Amino acid sequence: MTELELGAPTRAEVCVVAVADVFRGDGEIICNPIGTIPMIGGRLARATFEPDLAMTDGEAKLVANDEAVPAPADLVIEHFNPYRHMFDWVWNAKRHVMMGATQVDRYGNQNIAAIGDYQQPRTQLLGYRGAPGNTINHTTSYWVPNHGPKVVCEKVDTVCGIGYDRAAELGPEVARYHEIRRVVTNLCVLDFETTDHRMRLRSLHPGVTVEEVAAATGFDLVVPDDVPESRLPTDDELALIREVIDPAATREQEVPNP
Amino acid sequence: MTDKRMTEDEVVAELRSGMTIGIGGWGSRRKPMSLIRAILRSDLDDLTIVAYGGPDLGLLCAAGKVRKAVYAFVSLDTIPLEPHFRAARQSGAIEDEPWDEGLLLLGLQAANWRVPFLPTRVGLGSDLFRDNPRLRTVTSPYDDGETLVAAPALRLDAALVHLNRADPRGNAGYLGPDPYFDDLFVGAADKAYVSAEYVVPTDDLEPTVGLTRLLISRLQVDGVVEATGGAHFTSCVPDYDRDETFQKSYAASAKSAEAWAEFKSAWLDLSESDYQEKRAAEAAA
């Protein structure tokens, strides 16, 4: 299949491969991306370079299907994985989760509980969910489909998922399972690969400038002299995304093409 | 043999204002909604609710029954944020005690095992220690000397759970994909009440449910309610899916006091049998 037939990759598809790359090297663990593009990206990683990842159907089963949202009748079930069993994986560090973040700061502290004063919040969100347990126990990444200065922000109102500064306060022994690997947004990929684990601009999605990311970020990002462009999907990856994993193109609703 | 069958209103008559009540299910899935509706019809109030929260907590908040919420999340699943719970939080109407999902499991497990706490790393470094004053750390007495979180036992005055099938003695099983934490809620409670889609004779229970799905034992159950449609409008698969249309109208009733009054009058100020008849008629229309 030629590139011409496939057409140029959309922003959503660039996000999908950026998510997939987050799980590169993870081997045989639970890959647990939460959200539309995260799930598609995780499935892509497993269908290509990380075949031993284990993934859920969104509920209580680990399934072998490549489709992001398989039809119930088509499920290929590998394992019974109710919520209580998921905690065993979490506490065993056999999991890499990609969560959402209503707020995330320069050290990767994440808030999904409430905006404003916690005791009487301006906006009540989901709650702490599993973020404290996830971040202290195993590798965590974040997905931000709406990169803006109130989301990628100076200070989170409530620390649900703990970042590198909080982990450093706990000390290297206590925080030895803590890793915030990456933040994938609709504009760019961010990581913490700096000496003090401050957030760094890792790559820019095609068409996005450093200035645009800086304006959409509520603090000064570490910006290397040369920021590469985010990796583009290969033809095989594009075909998989479009024809197998997400034929309904739900990814394009989560991140519209600019 | 003790036959523990009773009605929803008889269950609620055994509860008291000010109690700590655990509610099974998860989000908007397999919630004991007929028991919640019975609480809404009662004069109970000042309740502390422990739950993986959904419309159970939302309804109780909207009706002013809640003093304190003990929870890790509140969600309607297909509607991510629970609007009635949000309104209660944002108006400062309820006290809030946040937990992590796994930490809540450990608190219930500790209560089951009658130990004061269970150790875990969950919560270290997070603002749970700012927002939940119940939490403490503990130092490992072994050579590692690690600092861990002591997940405190979450003892409940009463637990309410909804299963697919039960027998009259209180054995019960689930037919859907996930047991959630219903057995732990039951075991953490001084009094536990199980509602079920159908109450069947004991010799029909295991053949219907299957051995590994018999989640709840009569040893820990005080009352059994036959509540066909009792989880409505939450999901109770495979008996029925979530009633998304109804859930949307429930969520919309958070928009104003008038909308809530209208919803309450239409769906809550009536007996459970009238509720079930009315919603069946609407579904058929």
pLDDT in tens, A75-88: 999 999 999 999 99
Residue of A114, A133, A166 lying closest to B100 (CB–CB)? A133
What pLDDT shows up at residue A7? 83
Residue numbers in A near B86 (CB within 8 A): 123-124
Residue numbers in B near A113 (CB within 8 A): 98, 127
What pLDDT shows up at residue B206? 98
Mean pLDDT value of segment A19-38: 98
Per the DSSP assignment, residues forming a β-bridge with B22 are: B50, B159
The mean of the pLDDT values for chain B is: 98
- Enumerate long-range contacts of B39-43, CB under 8 Å, 24 or more apart: B39/B12, B39/B15, B39/B65, B40/B65, B40/B268, B41/B9, B41/B12, B41/B268, B41/B269, B42/B9, B42/B12, B42/B15, B43/B17
Assign domain A3-253 to a CATH class: alpha beta
Strands (E), chain B: 20-23, 47-53, 66-74, 95-98, 117-120, 136-139, 147-152, 156-166, 172-173, 189-199, 223-226
pLDDT in tens, A93-142: 999 999 999 999 999 999 999 999 999 999 999 999 999 999 999 999 99
> Over 50: is that where the pLDDT of A148 sits?
yes
CB-based contact A143:A37 (threshold 8 Å): yes
As a whole number of angstroms, the distance between CA A208 and CA B249 comes to 41
Per the DSSP assignment, residues forming a β-bridge with A152 are: A104
> Over 90: is that where the pLDDT of A146 sits?
yes
Mean pLDDT value of segment B124-138: 98
CB-based contact B146:B116 (threshold 8 Å): no
Query: What are the structure tokens assigned to B179, written together?
Result: 């047991």
As a whole number of angstroms, the distance between CA B138 and CA B148 comes to 5
Peptide bond into B238 cis (omega under 30): yes
- For strands B117-120 and B95-98, give the pairing: unpaired
Q: Give residues with Cβ within 8 angstroms of A216, minimum separation 6.
A: A147, A148, A149, A152, A187
Structural domains of chain B in order of their starting residue, each with its CATH number: 8-100+155-242 (3.40.1080.10)
pLDDT in tens, B8-22: 999 999 999 999 999
What pLDDT shows up at residue B1? 86
Structure-model confidence comparison of residues A144 and B284, the more confident one: A144
Q: Residue A95 CB: number of other CB atoms within 10 A?
A: 22
- For strands B189-199 and B156-166, give the pairing: parallel
> With a CB-CB cutoff of 8 Å, which residues 109-138 of chain A face chain B?
113-114, 118-133, 135-137
Share of chain B above pLDDT 70, in %: 100
pLDDT in tens, A225-241: 999 999 999 999 999 99
For residue B219, what is the DSSP state? Answer: G
For residue B60, what is the DSSP state? Answer: H
Best CA proximity match to B25, nearest among B56, B67, B61, B60:
B56
Strands (E), B134-267: 136-139, 147-152, 156-166, 172-173, 189-199, 223-226
As a whole number of angstroms, the distance between CA A37 and CA B229 comes to 35
> Over 80: is that where the pLDDT of A4 sits?
no
Task: Please count the CA atoms within 13 angstroms of the CA of B19 that sit on its side-chain side.
Answer: 20
pLDDT in tens, B135-173: 999 999 999 999 999 999 999 999 999 999 999 999 999
Residue numbers in A near B92 (CB within 8 A): 119-120
Query: Hey, is the C-beta of A97 within 8 angstroms of any chain B C-beta?
Result: no
- Which residue of B49, B121, B135, B213 to mutate against A (max A Cβ within 10 Å)? B121
CB contact under 8 Å between A59 and B178, yes or no, is yes
Tell whether the torsion through CA atoms of B28, B32, B38 and B44 is positive or negative.
negative
pLDDT in tens, B221-264: 999 999 999 999 999 999 999 999 999 999 999 999 999 999 99
> Over 90: is that where the pLDDT of A152 sits?
yes
Mean pLDDT value of segment B176-198: 98
What pLDDT shows up at residue A1? 42
Q: Residue B134 CB: number of other CB atoms within 10 A?
A: 12
CB contact under 8 Å between B89 and A162, yes or no, is no
Distance from CA of A87 to the nearest CA of B (A): 6
Mean pLDDT value of segment A45-49: 98
Helix (H) or strand (E) holding B39: helix B33-41
Mean pLDDT value of segment A176-189: 98
The full DSSP string for chain A is --HHHH-PPPHHHHHHHHHHHHTTT--SSEEEE-SHHHHHHHHHHHHTT-TT-BEE-SSSEEE--SSSS--GGG--EEEE--HHHHHHHHHHT-EEEEEE-SEE-TT--EE-SEES-SSS-SEE-S-STTHHHHHHHSEEEEEESS--TTTB-S--SS-SB--HHHHHHH-TTTTTT-EEEEEEESSEEEE--STT---EEEEE-TT--HHHHHHTSSS--B--SSPPBPPPPPHHHHHIIIIII-TT-THHHHS---
What pLDDT shows up at residue A5? 59
As a whole number of angstroms, the distance between CA A26 and CA A102 comes to 26
- Which residue of A126, A138, A165 to mutate against B (max B Cβ within 10 Å)? A126
> Over 60: is that where the pLDDT of A2 sits?
no
Query: Hey, is the C-beta of A59 within 8 angstroms of any chain B C-beta?
Result: yes
Distance from CA of B118 to the nearest CA of A (A): 13
As a whole number of angstroms, the distance between CA B194 and CA B166 comes to 8
- Enumerate long-range contacts of A64-73, CB under 8 Å, 24 or more apart: A66/A240, A66/A244, A66/A245, A67/A43, A67/A244, A67/A245, A67/A246, A67/A247, A68/A36, A68/A39, A68/A40, A68/A43, A68/A245, A68/A246, A68/A250, A69/A39, A69/A250
Residue A38 binned pLDDT confidence (cut-offs 50, 70, 90): very high
As a whole number of angstroms, the distance between CA B268 and CA B60 comes to 11
> Over 90: is that where the pLDDT of B285 sits?
no
